[in-house]
Chain A
Amino acid sequence: MVGIVSYGVYLPSYQMPAEVLQKAWGKPAGKGTKVISSYDEDSLTMAVAASLKCLADVDLQKVDALYFASTTPPYGEKMNASVVATALDLGRHAFTMDIGSSLRSGSNALKVALDAVPSGSSNILIVASDCRLAEPGTYLEPFLGDGATALLVGKDNTIAEITAHHSVFDGYPDVWRKQDERFLRHDDVRYSRSEDYARNMKEAVEGLFVEGGFKPGDFSKAVLFSPDPRSHGILAKSLGLTPEQVQDPLLDRTGIIGSGHGLMMLSATLDQAKPDDLILFANYGDGADAFALKVTDAIENKGSLSEIEKERRSISSYTKYLSFRELVGSHEPSTTFSAIPLLRREEELSIRLHGKKCRECGTVMTLDIQTCPHCRTAEEFEDIKLSKKGKIVTYSQEYYYPTPEPPVTMAVVDLEGGGRILAQMTDSTADEVKVDMPVEMTFRKLHEGGGFINYSWKCRPVREGGSG
């Protein structure tokens, strides 16, 4: 039976506590905190981070499809999933696809995977990721967080089988954004709570009950996406669910992280699930998707909650946040050179993170190089996969490199198992950087030279929550 094989959640290391917004605007801005992506992250890089967690113990050759779900893909035309797949070093045979437009796109992807596995795909990675933007100072701003959730869907070694499904659609907008707009719009809040959210979710879940012959009491946990805590409680009650059955929507811990939010809530539930638990999962956006999942004996609670709970740095000011989103300028514009032929030639090194190991002396080079600098043997390299962990050999801290977050630490990193790499450091403060400090590689935006996004690997201090 088709189900979830593994899962991974990535949440950025920055947060915006409600007080920062409140101070900026002089009006109440909700409570708790919301997770926000750094200036060098987007939905694509966060998708890579979540996927790496999901695939930590998976043979990449067995992943034969990747669906990238997002309402905020960095590219409107040009596939985003294929960049994620390259960074993940997936085999070229993998089928890649973007699924978009709807807040529900994460569970849309799950449904498509559910249908595709029986017809030939063995393991499909779905990853839902978003950096949704509200106009500064408007109603939605305090509610929106950034993050990504990845699920590997397959039929072997599943930790939770999907036993039933029901969907409904709704053609009217609740939250929307036209093609040429950057900020989200929303409808009358009280109206959308009852007529959009409650009606669609109830219809999908009740449809699922009929489909699977379930009663509310059958479920050990109900994962109900929610736009706000109040609507969440009202919906649960109307479905006949008790408060103990209901998964915390995590709104005041992360904000709504977009298309990956429902899947993140599901991951948090799987973190505490036991064999034979029956889980209700309902996701919302332009209608609703509802699923029933049966937890198997293979469940290994992976610790997504630790990602949710990990210590975050509060953004120093609201102005800094605006500069991260390029809503205010923070440095002189630059016109960096880049070229597709060059990037394509060096994909193995710079994106797939492979090295060239000298067959003569064993030196591992991470550059496009023809002759081994150690033994000077030419053209005798074998391709090896580099580790994403290492430690700092030396560094500089650049106060004149254009960035919203100076200084840029440039670190020379010796990777575990060989290979030395030079990389910008991110998610760190200048004063914590030290020689010999352990770091891990993280896929980020470097610049937009050539008019397209130049992605590559940066490094960051190793913190709880693992690779990303």
Chain B
Amino acid sequence: MTFKDKIAIIGAGCTKFGENFSMSYGDMVYEAAKEAFNDAGVEGKDIDAAWLGTAFPDAGVYKGRSGMDLAEPLGLFDIPITRVSNYCATGGDAFRNGCNSLLSGESDLVLALGAEKLRDRTPQDSIVRMMVDTGHPIYQKGFTAAGTFAVVGTRYMHVYGDITEQLAKISVKNHYHGSLNPKAHYQKPITLEKALKSPMVAFPVNLMGSCPTTDGSAAVVMTRAEDAKKYTDDHVLLKGYSLSISTGWDLPFYDPDYDFLGYRATQVAGEKAYKQAGIENPFKELDLAEMHDCFNVVEFITYEDLGLCDKGKARELVDSEVTTLGGELPVNVSGGLLSCGHPVGATGVRMLYELTKQLQGKAEKRQVENARLALAHNIGGPGAVASITILGAR
């Protein structure tokens, strides 16, 4: 079955990403949804099904454990709402489920919203401490989230040579992009020297190579493509989407088959989504991509996993600066997770917000010229689950 061009995003909204100390989980849900509703020209009462993406409700005040935390702030009662949790692919998966509902005919107008409230706790208490305090008492004790991805960087460098400078260049690029995005957590460019000298978090990932702990919410409103013109003439179309779980939570570190040189989840999800979208040469055909740069090494490795270059050649892609705004395939023009931050469940939907704005030509200072085809990628749970969404301009 092909899904190409059957779903339209008719509205998108996003809160400021950052330390939203003055906003509750409900405040952020409300703000992101309201912007998306206004953008689509719909009201909450028009929505007939919704998906809520929140990965870690326990990091805060237990908001986001179920669909009711979307219903309450929006007054969206008496409709089906499902909470989705799939680590960093949570937002993308919320969107995918919404699309499936439209395709099945269960619903006609769907809201997919991601939200995460992390900064009611100290950064160490939320994501970093999560691995210290929770989880299996033995299997990954000693790791932080950064380390679970850093091991790929270490092995990659052993096989393909040092990439310290290339990782720093990704940090510089995404902080430059973030400086162009008024909704990013960090909006200040950094120098290569600062990126290189930044303190280590989990070797070989340093502080400037790590996303901050951030609050935020993002939302998109979707309908079947044939109904889109009832609401707007400025919609974007779904070209392909996929989700792949390709290993487990502890398994990658204990699986004797794993080479630590890439993420199979991204590779599998990418192939599926390209096939749906009819993409044969992603580097040539895509106009921009949002990639899951929770740590700079993940963006680096994703270049290869998504087939933008050959295995072992991502360094050349970085050095040639083709992924910087103005280059042939700009990556993370929003600033990525490194600048926007990573309110986990919101991130995937925030990427769809970015792609929508870009494909509509409304991305202002960070607009990619003639953006027609764009990809969003998330990977989470030590490289276990990946979500890919490809959107195209009308």
Contacts and interface: CB of A to CB of B under 8 A. Distances in A.
Interface of A: 332, 334-339, 342-343, 346, 350, 363-367, 369, 373-374, 393-402, 407-408, 410, 412, 414, 418-424, 430, 435-436, 446-447, 449-450, 454, 456
A337 B133 contact: yes
B155 A396 contact: no
The 3 closest A-B pairs by CB, nearest first: A396-B147, A396-B150, A397-B203
Nearest to B159: A435
Contacts of B202: 396-400, 407
B203 A435 contact: no
B137 A343 contact: yes
**Chain B interface main SS type:** mixed
15 contacts: A335-B133, A336-B141, A337-B134, A339-B137, A395-B154, A396-B203, A398-B143, A398-B144, A398-B147, A400-B146, A401-B147, A410-B151, A454-B138, A454-B141, A456-B138
A363 to B, nearest CB: 6
Given A410-B151, A412-B260, A398 B137 contact: no
Interface residues of B, number: 41
A99 B128 CA distance: 42
A336 B124 contact: no
Interface stretch (B96-104, B250-258, B352-360): B250-258
B256 A364 contact: yes
A396 B151 contact: yes
B10 to A, nearest CB: 42
Contacts of A374: 255-257
Contacts, number: 135
Contacts of B138: 343, 346, 350, 446, 454, 456
B21 to A, nearest CB: 21
B140 interface: yes
B132 interface: yes
B158 A396 contact: no
Contact of B254 (A343, A366, A456): A366
Contacts of B199: 399
B159 to A, nearest CB: 9
A435 B203 CA distance: 13
B142 A394 contact: no
B135 interface: yes
Given A374-B255, A446-B142, 7 more contacts: A336-B132, A350-B138, A394-B154, A400-B202, A401-B147, A402-B132, A420-B256
A394 B200 contact: no
A399 B137 contact: no
B250 A367 contact: yes
A412 B62 CA distance: 34
Nearest to B247: A373
A332 B254 CA distance: 29
A411 B250 CA distance: 14
Q: Most chain-A CB neighbours within 10 Å: which of B133, B137, B142, B151? A: B142
Contacts of B200: 397, 399, 407
Contacts of A369: 251
